[in-house]
Structure formats: C-alpha cells, structure tokens
Homo-oligomer: A and B are copies of this chain.
Amino acid sequence: MTAAAPGAPRVRQRPEVRRAMIVEAARAVIVRNGVGATGLRDIAAEAGVSVGTVTYHFGSVAEILNEVVVLETERFYGAIVIAVDAEPDPVEALRMLVAPLFGDTEQVRQHWRIWSDYWTAVARRPEVAAEYAERIRVWEACLVRVIRRGADAGVFRSGADAGVFRSGALPIDPDTVALKLAAYSDGVATQIAQGVPGLTNTVALSWMWTFLAHELGVPAVEIAGTGHQHL
C-alpha cells in the first residue's frame, strides 16, 4: 500500500506526474487483484488520492487500464526491442528477444499477470483492443523483423517437418512463425500463472528454445540441458 495517511496534506502534482502515479498505482492493484477486481476506489486508495483526483485526470477507468497496459508494454519491451533491432546477428537477436519472456523475476510474473488479464477483459471489446493493438504488439512485430533478417541471411531454415520426411528447403513465413511463438508463449505463461507444479520460468524458456529450434533450425545449445529434465 502506498496510500497516504488519512488527512494527509493535499499535495499538488503536475498532471503528467499525477497521471503516472495513478497508472502506477493501478498497475499495482491489477497485479494484486486482477483487472476484474480493480475499481476506481481501489486505484485512488493505492495512489493515496481521492476518487475525484483520479477522475480529474482520467476520463474513465477503462482509460486507466489501457494506460497501464501501454506502460507495461513500453517498459517491458521498449529497451529490448531497440537492442534487438540493433543487434546484427539474427540468432543472437532472437535470443535477446525471447529470453526476457521467461526471466525468473517478479517483474516477469507481474507482466504476464497483467497481460493475460487484459486480453481476456478486452476480448469481448475488439474496438478497444484495436486502438491499442499496434502499441501492444511491438514484441511480435520485432520478432517478425528478426525472423525475416535471419531467413534472408540464410541462418534460419524451415524445420517444420525436420526429421519426419525429407523435405527440401521450405520457405519461412516470418508472420506465421511469430504468431506461433506468441501463441505458445502466451499459453505457457497462462499455465505458469495457474501454478502448474514444476513449470518454472526456466523450464518454459527451454521450451521456447526447443520450439524455435524446430521452426527455424537455430541450435538450442546454451540451455540445452534444461529442456529435457522431467517436470
């Protein structure tokens, strides 16, 4: 709880500062209680301000929730995407992009919690999602770029049927592979969030490497061991 003591002196903040504080508070409430249980009064209490202050700075609760997700996205992926786009080696870029998804930190766990809640909340409101989709899908867009670079450079090769039948070199479709990986990582993160025993972030990450090894033919060398341990 960051909530100010009752009767605390009224402190003025510039709007962008106060907005940021409120969004931060809302993020904390969402992480603790979930999007569905995040109300105006919870946010205000967490931010240590009155409800009036919250509605003064935001037109609606939905606007706050959207801001939280946008903030979360920028904070979580912003630096990563920049670094990845600057990395010349596609294989290394791929590692830099995927590894943070299942880092073993509280920040990662909170990220997935916000993410999964938000998607379900907006699933029935596609018009809301559309407005934010572009800003939110930065990770996936970056992944597409990385895959394309690797495919063009010839370091990624389609392994879709590797070991099953003798296919020649199939062309890689970056959009498809990116979507597959996004779906897979989302699904795995959801399972983790539900507390499946033995499914840690480390294990999840090894699964991603295995998946990419099949899809793009990249070696899953460094952490090869972890992928095979029993759950």
Contacts and interface: CB of A to CB of B under 8 A. Distances in A.
B164 A33 contact: no
A120 to B, nearest CB: 4
A195 interface: yes
State the number of copies, please. Answer: 4
Nearest to A224: B161
Secondary structure of the A contact surface, majority rule: helix
Contacts of A231: 173, 175-176, 179
Interface residues of A, number: 53
A123 B193 contact: yes
Interface of A: 33-34, 36-37, 116-117, 119-121, 123-124, 126, 129, 158-165, 170, 173, 175-176, 179-180, 182-188, 190-191, 193-196, 199, 207, 210, 213-214, 217, 219-220, 224, 227-228, 230-231
